[in-house]
Amino acid sequence: AFEQPGRFHNPAGPWSTELSGGLSTQFRMGFNIEGYAALEAMAQAHASNLSDESRRNWAAHWHLGPRIYPLWHWRAELPEKLQRLEPSIFFGWGGSWQVYNPNGNSEIGWSGLGTFRFGLGLEYFVLSYMKLGLDYYHVSAPYDTFIFNFSDGITGGVDSDRVGASFNQVLLTMNFHFGVED
């Protein structure tokens, strides 16, 4: 039985779906429209204890949406040193998965479509084709599927109004731009 979003009743006591530590990675690709906005697709993963089957846990997300660059139009009016800074706002829709092994014998978790991502970014052009950045994302993931055993693909439906999770992420990024000159 579910006690509250993000917690599953276990006879040994409740366990948390909180991920901390471990390896994180992100892949982001987009099509920029005249510098003002971009349509982006991104995939992210976070994992710890991957080599230890009895303690392995991970989360994965994919999202598609627009990234808006609100200061692009006024960039030339900024002082020269600030012209290389590029703040952005991202809104995305996608899917999320979380898998845990709380008992050491079967990987359980949740998955769902309809997750929402909101992000704020600040990037700095180091070179004309490369920028370094700092991104903050908030992911809200209502889950509609409970995973009884991930390795065997055994799942079941859940009341997604009761099961969900929120993720806050802070990422250091390195982005490369490729384009076609006229």
CA distance 58 to 36: 35
For the four alpha carbons of 119, 30, 25 and 55, in that order, the dihedral sign comes to positive
Q: What is the pLDDT of residue 138?
A: 93
Which run of H or of E encompasses 122?
A: strand 108-127
Query: Which pairs with CB-CB distance under 8 Å and at least 24 residues apart come from 176-180?
Result: 176/129, 176/130, 177/32, 177/128, 177/129, 177/130, 177/131, 178/129, 179/32
Q: Which residue has the tokens 């660059």?
A: 69
Which tens digit of pLDDT belongs to each residue from 125-147?
999 889 999 999 999 888 777 76
Which tens digit of pLDDT belongs to each residue from 34-88?
889 999 999 988 888 777 777 778 888 999 999 999 988 888 888 888 888 999 9
Which tens digit of pLDDT belongs to each residue from 148-181?
666 666 667 766 556 677 888 888 999 888 776 6
Contact 17, 42 (CB under 8 A): no
Q: Write b or e for each residue in 158-179: b if 16 or more Cβ atoms lie within 10 A of its Cβ, otherwise e.
A: bebeebbbebebebeeebeeee
**Is pLDDT at 15 greater than 60 in this prediction?**
no
For the entire predicted model, the pTM comes to 0.76
Question: How sure is the predictor about 6, in pLDDT bands with cuts at 50, 70 and 90?
Answer: very low
**Is pLDDT at 105 greater than 60 in this prediction?**
yes
Q: What is the pLDDT of residue 16?
A: 52
Mean pLDDT for the chain overall: 79
**Is pLDDT at 22 greater than 80 in this prediction?**
no
